[in-house]
Amino acid sequence: MQFQNTRAFAQQLDAADNLRDYREQFHFPQIAGKQVIYFTGNSLGLQPKIAQAYVDEVMEDWRKLGVEGHFHADKPWWDYHERLAKPLAKVVGALPEEVSVMNTLSVNLHLMLVSFYRPTKKRFKILCEEKAFPSDQYLLNSQVRFHGMDPDEAIVEVKKRKGEHFWRTEDVLAKIGELGEELALVLIGGVNYYNGQAFDMATITKAGKAVGAMVGWDLAHAVGNVTLALHDWDVDFAAWCSYKYMNSGPGNASGVFINKKHLGQDQIPRFEGWWGTKKETRFLMKPVFEPMETADAWQISNPPVLALAPYLASLQLFEEVGMDALVGKRQRIVAYLEFILEEIAKEVGGSFEVITPKDRGCQLSVLLHGQGRSLFDFLMGQGVIADWREPNVMRLAPAPFYCSYEDMYRFGQLLKQGVLRQNK
């Protein structure tokens, strides 16, 4: 298809979009009385309108039933989290028993490393990407120190090549081969938060397994964004937050994937708690932990039902649409946004360098050469909610559930206006 930088063409794309009606199922912030152009689904997704009803249902059951809501609510609270496993399994490419929801992302990654980072004198190194998300850097450093080792020796970073803004798969594979029997764990962000790059998770996982390492993924920016097949890729574990592309609400609960081959084991290293023990005997208050046969064995505490309610609401929309449809629109709308950026650059005689490679999800990270924070501030004032990273990178993430092609056109016109205003 030959794109055009016109409102009429953008509206034509919207008219042909099978997901166009889902835009009306989300609440949009407003600036100056107008609906914003929302580019930060990679940070906090918009609120599904049905989320309120799911939360209200829990509040009503609490009001009417009190503690009896655990067993007598329409969606009993004691197993509320189990309702999320099946739809989430479809999103991440897993078996339902391999998925659970609990805690928050960094907490879950720490719990996963208790089980899957088992350093020995010979095999103790962790491979991650250069400048991983700070929380991942902190947790890796603290885990290594917890085991009495030096992070400078145990943590190895795969770096980008000089002058490039992305990682090359062959460099990751080469580093895995170089570390060989010293490599205990590969833990990388599946989609990089800064440049939006989607790593070749299948190939990297295979290479890590081939040298005997455990392989895990931080999927904060990947879940609900890119196609995943965690079970088929033989990933050992993964964890993700739910408030970005999954639209579950600020700081909400995290999901985990634990490969089936690790389930049902009594002796696996694990921090254990009441809600991970077998349902059948949980209320017998037995002193010996008997793990669930599913990923729920890693649950420590009972589920935060009020937090899970909007997550379940959002998953209803994912069930209706399916990842194939979301990925299809994502590819088209991101391509159209990139085209718009190129066209506006021609019109204003400027340069907007997209540093996100073609292997990507919703996000385009754009270097605004010759422009500074004032351009971003202008756009925000005009109702464009985007994200800024110093010194001059703007992250744009047009989530396919609720972003329109006309949004992309309107953004281009505002960007053009902002640049011309700056250049006066």
Per-residue pLDDT tens for 349-366? Answer: 877 899 999 999 999 999
DSSP 8-state class, residue 68 = G
Residues 343 and 314 in one domain: no
Domain range enclosing 14? 7-35+322-423
> Which tens digits make up the pLDDT trace of 325-350?
999 999 999 999 999 999 999 999 87
Which token pair is 153? 């020796």
DSSP state of 46: P
Q: Using CA atoms, how far apart are residues 266 and 285, in angstroms rounded to an integer?
A: 18
Q: Are residues 161 and 292 in the same domain?
A: yes
Whole-angstrom distance, CA of residue 334 vs CA of residue 331: 5
pLDDT score for 69:
97
Question: Mean per-residue pLDDT for 195-213?
Answer: 98
Structural domain count, the chain? 2
In the predicted structure, residue 1 carries a pLDDT above the cut 90:
no
In a domain? residue 167: yes
Domain membership of residue 47 (yes or no) is no
Task: Please tell me the predicted confidence (pLDDT) of residue 402.
Answer: 98
Q: Per-residue pLDDT for 422 more than 80?
A: no
Q: Which residue in 95, 295, 106, 312 sits closest to 189, CA to CA?
A: 106
- How high is the mean pLDDT of the chain? 96
Q: Is the pTM of this model over 0.85?
A: yes
Q: Which of 274, 302, 321 is the last residue of a domain?
A: 321
On the question of a cis peptide bond just before residue 269, with omega within 30 degrees of 0, the verdict is no
Report how far residue 289's alpha carbon sits from residue 274's, in angstroms, rounded to the nearest whole number: 8
8 Å CB contact between 394 and 194: no
- Do 237 and 339 lie in one domain? The reply is no
DSSP 229-261: -HHHHT--EEEE-SSSTT---TT-PEEEEE-GG
pLDDT at 205: 98
Place of tokens 């056109």: 409
How far separated are the first and last CA of the chain, in Å rounded?
36
The count of residues in the chain is 424
- 96 preceded by cis ω (within 30°)? no
Whether residue 1 lies inside any domain: the answer is no
Rounded to an integer, what distance in angstroms lies between the CA atom of residue 62 and that of residue 288? Answer: 31
Mean pLDDT of all residues in 382-408: 95
β pairing state of 125-129 and 155-158? parallel
Confirm if 388 and 376 have CB atoms less than 8 A apart: yes
pLDDT band with cut points at 50, 70 and 90 for residue 169: very high
Q: How many Cα atoms sit within 13 Å of 276 on the Cβ side?
A: 23
pLDDT at 372: 77
Domain boundary among 269, 288, 321: 321
43 in any annotated domain = no
Q: At 245, is the secondary structure helix, strand, or coil?
A: coil
Task: Compute the C-alpha angle 37/358/176, nearest 5°.
Answer: 125
- Which of 321, 354, 374 is a domain's end point? 321
